[in-house]
Amino acid sequence: MNLAEKIKHLREVEGELRGLNRPMTQMEVVKAMQEELNASLSQAYLSQLEKGKRVHLTASSRDLLAAFFKVHPGYLVSDPLDYSTDLLSDTDLLTNTNHEEESGRLRTWLAARAEEWQSEPVVADFFELLSSVEEPRTYLSLLQQLLTLPMEELEGVVLTLQKHSV
């Protein structure tokens, strides 16, 4: 992923985290940065970064964006060609086709996400717990089904389960 894609992605995530249900606009990022960090970039500079017209950040711009989006500054560089976050070699990717090994890869990925989200304890705890179960895909499938329920119905399910576990 290149720098432009990463910044666009971070605006999307930040908009969701702030309850906007849409990506934050560049201007919203600029204003929020000023209000929350007492420093900001210009909207034009942010636009140039997202359009790929600027492919590198100054150290101060990188630190400011990292602080605002709560990511490590090293995240805000373009990944080298053929970069992958998987910890497997090409040979492993060709031979790891069984279900148990795939579950192991998923658990490794989930544990890495838990580390990445340490600044958000609820998210980090979720990934950590999910990485520790035997079959994380099964839990994800069940969670996916739960997410289709209306909130009131889901709250009722949780309350019922809590009563039965006491």
Mean pLDDT score, 121-142: 87
Is a pLDDT exceeding 80 seen at residue 85?
Answer: no
For residue 145, the model assigns a pLDDT of 87
**Burial class of residue 158, CB neighbours in 10 A (0-12, 13-18, 19+):** exposed
Structure confidence at residue 69 as a pLDDT band (50, 70, 90): very high
Question: Residue 106: its pLDDT value, please?
Answer: 80
Rounded to whole angstroms, the Cα distance separating 13 from 3 reads: 15
Place of tokens 């790891």: 96
Give the mean pLDDT of 89-104: 54
pLDDT at 33: 95
Residue 77's pLDDT is 78
pLDDT at 137: 87
pLDDT band of residue 15 (cuts 50, 70, 90) is very high
Predicted local distance difference test score (pLDDT) of residue 45: 93
Q: Name the amino acid, one letter, at 4.
A: A
End-to-end CA distance of the chain: 47
Question: Per-residue pLDDT tens for 103-128?
Answer: 777 888 888 887 888 888 898 889 88
What pLDDT does residue 54 have?
86
Residue-averaged pLDDT of the chain: 83
> What average pLDDT does the segment 16-39 reach?
93
Sorted by where each begins, the domain ranges of the chain are: 3-75, 92-165
pTM of the model: 0.50
CATH class assigned to 3-75: mainly alpha
Give the Cα separation of 12 and 34 in Å (integer). 19
